[in-house]
Amino acid sequence: MIEIKDLHKSYKMGSNSLHVLKGLNFSIAEGELVAIMGSSGSGKSTLLNILGMLDEADSGSYTLDGVPIKNLNETKAAKYRNKFLGFIFQSFNLINYKSAMENVALPLYYQKVPRKEREEKALKYLEQVGLKEWATHLPNELSGGQKQRVAIARAMAAEPKVLLADEPTGALDSKTSYEVMDLIQNINDEGNTILVVTHEEDIAHMCKRIVHLKDGVIVEDKKVEQVRAAQYVK
């Protein structure tokens, strides 16, 4: 599903440049649930941004679902993001003045799905994350866990190939974190490919594979026994 080869990225900071990614190679198959771990500064967010087409690598190749991601202009990148990727952010990034349902329907709006169909689909995904009754509420009327669940519903609404989660539990307490991870695991069980960036061990172990990043190189890439989050959720 995702294949990267010899990926390099450096940032210019004044006169000296900061080499963040130093030749990454790895691939993710369909249906995997991968955690990318590393301390801050290890380059995991940069990697995620490149995978999410929000940023471009200096060199190396990136193939997503057989499509080479190279030299995209903004319009094309936007189209690919919409078609291939679903984003889940640490700070939820819901649009404040839109209701939960409108937020979920947003990616569909950009696909020019008709209004009615959009709303039906949005409701379906809200139901899946257990927030159907909250459809008309604005984000500031929801708790953190609920917001993240709306964000997950939004990420899934466009039926993307890959879900990219950037510290999805970073802003949540552990109980809600497990609830969110439970949801992510369930989505993965249905066959969706998910990439989670995290620095929390317990969250990482709820995935099926852990990729350790340190100073811009992969130091470890191992399959793990998945810990089900459901057992912590009452």
Partner 1 sequence: MFNRDRWKEILEVLTSNWFRTVLTAFGVFWGIFILILLLSAGKGLENGIMQDFGDIATNTMFMWSRSTTKPYKGLPKNRSFLFKVEDVQAIRDKVPNLRFISPRNQLGGFNGTNNVVRGIKTGAYNVYGDYPEISQQDPMTMTSGRFLNYNDIREKRKIAIIGEGVRAGLYDKGEEVLGSFIKIQGVNFMVVGTYKKKSNDGDGEEAQKEIYVPFTTFSQAFNRGNDVGWMAITANDGTSITSIKDKIMAVVKENHKVHPDDQRAVGHFDLYEQFQRVQSLFGALRFIAYFVGILVLLSGVIGVSNIMLIVVKERTKEIGIRRALGEDPWSIKLQILMESIFLTIISGMAGITLGALFIYGVNTLLDMNGPVDMFLNPSVSLGVVIGALFILIVSGLLAGFIPAQSAIKVRPIDALRTE
Q: Which residue has the tokens 């509420």?
A: 137
139 touches partner 1 (CB under 8 A): no
Of 93, 128, 186, 226, the one binding partner 1 (CB under 8 A) is: 93
- Residue 97, interface with partner 1 (CB under 8 A)? yes
Mark 100-129 with x for binding to partner 1 (rule: CB under 8 A) and - for no binding.
------xx-xxx---x--------------
Cα angle 52, 99, 182 (rounded to 5 degrees) comes to: 55
CB of 178 to partner 1, least distance (A): 26
Residue list 61-90, contact with partner 1 (CB under 8 A): 74-75, 78-83, 85, 87, 89
Query: In terms of Cα–Cα distance, which of 157, 152, 158, 181 is closest to 169?
Result: 181
Smallest gap, in angstroms, from Cβ of residue 79 to partner 1?
7
Encoded tokens for 218: 């992969």
Interface of this chain with partner 1, residues 183 to 222, rule: CB under 8 A:
none
Tokens of 153: 């519903």
Check if the beta carbon of residue 220 is closer than 8 Å to that of residue 172.
no
Q: Report the alpha-carbon distance of residue 102 to residue 99 in Å, rounded.
A: 5
Query: In whole angstroms, what is the distance from residue 148 CA to residue 89 CA?
Result: 8
Residues that bind partner 1 (CB under 8 A): 49, 52, 54-55, 74-75, 78-83, 85, 87, 89, 93-97, 106-107, 109-111, 115, 154, 158
